[in-house]
A and B are shown apart, each in its own frame.
Chain A
Amino acid sequence: MGGTPAGLEAQSLVKRFGATTAVDGIDIQVRPGEFFTVLGPSGCGKTTFLRLVAGILTPDGGRIAIGGADVSHAPIWARRIGLVFQNYALFPHMTVAQNVGFGLAMRKIPRAEREPRVARALATVRLEGYGGRKPSELSGGQQQRVALARAIVVEPDLLLLDEPLSNLDARLREDMRSELADLQHRLGITTILVTHDIHEAFSLSDRVAVMRQGRVEQVGAPTELYDRPANRFVAGFLGPVNEWTGRIGRIAGGVAEVALEGLRSCRVAALPDWREGGSATVVLRPERLAVRALDGDPPPGTIAGRVDQVAHLGNLVNYRVALGQRALLAQTAPGRTAGLALGSAVAIDWEDADLAPVSA
Chain B
Amino acid sequence: MSGGAAGRAALGVRLGGGVWLFLGPALALMLAVYLAPLFDTAVVSLHPNTPSGIDRGRWTIANYLRLVDTYYWDVLLRTLRVSVLITAFSVLLAYPVAVWLAGLGPRGQTWAILVYMSPWFVNAVVKSFGWTLILGNKGLVNRGLMNLGVIDTPLRLMLNETGIVIGLLPGHFLFVLLPLWAALKGLDGNLRWAAMTLGARPWQVFLRVTVPLTLPALLAGAIINFTMNMAAFAAPALLGGTRTRVLSFVAYQVNLEELNWPFGGALAVAMLVVTLGFVTVAQGVTRRGLAGGGR
Contacts and interface: CB of A to CB of B under 8 A. Distances in A.
Interface residues of A, number: 27
Interface string B202-222: 001000110011000000000
B293 A83 contact: no
A82 interface: yes
Contact of A91 (B196, B197, B294, B295): B294
Given A77-B196, A93-B290, A106-B199, 14 more contacts: A56-B193, A56-B196, A77-B198, A77-B199, A79-B197, A83-B194, A85-B194, A89-B191, A91-B195, A93-B213, A93-B293, A93-B294, A102-B208, A106-B195
B294 A98 contact: yes
B199 A154 contact: yes
Contact of B200 (A54, A77, A82): A77
Contacts of A94: 293-294
Contacts of B188: 87, 89
B123 interface: no
B interface: dominant SS: helix
Question: Which of B190, B194, B197, B200 has most chain A Cβ within 10 Å?
Answer: B197
Q: Which 7 A-B pairs have the closest CB atoms?
A: A103-B198, A106-B199, A94-B294, A89-B190, A76-B196, A89-B194, A83-B197
Contacts of A150: 194, 198
A336 interface: no
Interface in A89-106: 89-95, 98, 102-103, 106
B41 to A, nearest CB: 42
- For chain A, what secondary structure do more than half of its interface residues adopt (helix, strand, loop), or is it mixed? loop
A153 B242 CA distance: 66
A10 interface: no
A103 B199 contact: yes
A81 interface: yes
Interface of B: 188, 190-191, 193-201, 204, 208-209, 212-213, 290, 293-295
A150 B294 CA distance: 15
A102 B195 contact: yes
A133 to B, nearest CB: 12
Interface in A152-189: 154
A107 B200 CA distance: 8
23 contacts: A54-B193, A77-B198, A77-B199, A79-B197, A83-B194, A85-B194, A89-B194, A91-B195, A91-B209, A91-B294, A92-B213, A93-B213, A94-B293, A95-B294, A98-B295, A102-B195, A102-B198, A102-B200, A103-B199, A106-B199, A106-B204, A151-B197, A154-B198
A107 B199 contact: yes
Contacts of B209: 91
Contacts of A90: 194
A270 B197 CA distance: 47
A260 B154 CA distance: 98
